[in-house]
Amino acid sequence: MWPSYIAPMTPDDPTQPAAAQLDRREAIAAMGAALGLLAFEAGQQPTTPTIGRTSMKVTCVIRYQIDPFQRDVFKEYAHNWASIIPRCGGHLVGYFLPYEGTNDVAWALVAFDSLASYEAYRARIKADPEGKANIDMVQSKRAILREERNFVEVVEGTFEVPASQPGSR
């Protein structure tokens, strides 16, 4: 059975936040939109998939189910990674908290040159004292209820395509 802190929430309990589930297509669409929004630089023409000067061949998309009452804890956790992830070899694209809609799903995007680069990064993260402390902090406060990792690649020609101005072609 589920531990009480991750038990499924029921609609007949008004003290519990409403649980929202994204299906696979909605999750992939959200990941793509987030990746595109973060990487967009005003005035830049579409190019090969890169972020800054780093070639981005593989992006790790992490979907978190968070305790909505621990949002500030998760925000601190995400902020702490901003210095740790780059130091350990990952290109931090960003962390995303729920804004509208579901209140218990957050995302992180971290890019790598290859899966081998990701594996080396994971080893460095596990050995990093600040990384360990950050994981211990969020676990002790039970802010993250579930975590999923998926690896995606950019479809060339679809990354960093700027919005068209209304009425222009």
For the chain, domain boundaries: 23-41+56-152
Whether 38 shows a pLDDT value over 50: the answer reads: no
pLDDT of residue 22: 53
Distance CA 54, CA 72 (A): 31
Whether 20 shows a pLDDT value over 80: the answer reads: no
In the predicted model, what is the mean pLDDT of the chain?
78
Which of 3.40.50.620, 2.30.130.10, 3.30.70.100, 3.40.50.720 would CATH assign to domain 23-41+56-152? 3.30.70.100
More confident residue, 167 or 84: 84
Q: 């890169």: which residue's tokens?
A: 50
More confident residue, 131 or 49: 131
Backbone angles phi, psi at 38, to 5 degrees: -65, -40
Task: Give the residue-averaged pLDDT of 79-97.
Answer: 97
Under a CB-based contact definition with an 8 Å cutoff, are residues 89 and 126 in contact? no
Both tokens of 21, joined, read: 């589930």
Distance CA 128, CA 122 (A): 10
Q: What is the pTM of this model?
A: 0.66
Residues sharing a CB contact under 8 Å with residue 92, sequence separation 6 or more, in sequence order: 81, 82, 85, 86, 109, 110
Whether 53 shows a pLDDT value over 70: the answer reads: no
More confident residue, 56 or 9: 56
Task: Give the residue-averaged pLDDT of 99-125.
Answer: 95
Whether 55 shows a pLDDT value over 50: the answer reads: yes
- Residues 56-81 have pLDDT tens digits of 689 999 999 999 999 999 999 999 99
